[in-house]
Amino acid sequence: MRLILLGPPGAGKGTQALRLVKAFNLAHLSTGDMLRAAVQAGAPIGLKAKAIMDGGNLVSDEIVIGIIADRLDAPDARRGFILDGFPRTLPQAEALDALLARKAMKLDAVIELVVDAEQLVHRIEGRAAQARAAGEPARKDDDPIVFKTRLDAYFRDTAAVTPYYRARGLLREVDGMAPIEDVSRAIDEVLGATTQA
Ligand code: AMP
């Protein structure tokens, strides 16, 4: 199975992606995770990306397309994958189509977690408070002001991605504000599958 999970930051994409990865034995292709790993490792891409990510802005299409192109070639991704956090712009969506066509791979579905922006800000404040309570350092980009920038980037750049997939008959919308189990169930229904929530 080859899936894309779309939705703004804080919509629960990570949670759902991890569940689907386990249920369907998919490779989890999260550009956010890959970029954070590159930052941690002090890799050249990480050095370029760090300040951009800390400010809540989007890393260049060229960088993320390059990362995904490499990752799609790995054996686990050939088995099936879920893209989490990519594509985030129209050029990324177009580049992905070209990459997949070259590899004779087809997408099965693009699932969008549809959310209310104001409620999302509350959700992200909760996430930061939880991290603080657990004594973990909160992610810099979960700072409420940075979060607002990330949300703006989503609605400015990524809003163009949903119509792209809708026009191809691949887009499936799911209410991302519902309780996690309900979101899980709705996604499973969309995929015509039954999994453990
Ligand atoms: P995420 O964990 O998916 O929210 O990603 C964290 C940060 O990584 C984003 O705020 C961006 O700065 C960067 N990033 C992740 N994926 C992409 C992408 N597809 N295009 C551009 N920037 C990205």
In the chain, how long is the greatest CA-to-CA distance? Answer: 47
Q: Which amino acid is at 29?
A: L
pLDDT of 159 above 90: no
38 Cα: distance to centroid of ligand 1 (angstroms): 12
Answer whether 177 contacts ligand 1 (Cβ < 6 A). Answer: no
Answer whether 158 contacts ligand 1 (Cβ < 6 A). Answer: no
Looking at the structure, give the CATH architecture of the domain made up of residues 2-192: 3-Layer(aba) Sandwich (3.40)
The span from the CA of 138 to the CA of 127, in Å, is 8
Query: Of 70-79, 138-147, 172-181, where does mean pLDDT reach its minimum?
Result: 138-147
pLDDT at residue number 158 = 86
Identify whether the C-beta of residue 93 lies closer than 8 Å to the C-beta of residue 87.
yes
Answer whether 141 contacts ligand 1 (Cβ < 6 A). Answer: yes
Tell me the sheet residues that pair with 114: 175
DSSP type of residue 95 = H
pLDDT of 30 above 70: yes
- Of 139, 148, 166, 185, the catalytic one is 139
The span from the CA of 144 to the CA of 136, in Å, is 17
Q: Using 50, 70 and 90 to split pLDDT, how confident is the model at 71?
A: very high
| Helix, coil or strand: residue 56 | coil
Identify whether the C-beta of residue 84 lies closer than 8 Å to the C-beta of residue 30.
yes
58 Cα: distance to centroid of ligand 1 (angstroms): 6
Answer whether 59 contacts ligand 1 (Cβ < 6 A). Answer: yes
With a pLDDT cut of 70, the percent of the chain lying above it is 95
Global pTM? 0.88
The span from the CA of 124 to the CA of 120, in Å, is 6
| Ranges assigned E (strand) in 26-150 | 27-30, 81-84, 109-114
Based on the residue annotation, tell me whether 139 is a catalytic residue of this protein: yes
Q: Which two tokens stand for residue 158?
A: 């990524």
Based on the residue annotation, tell me whether 150 is a catalytic residue of this protein: yes
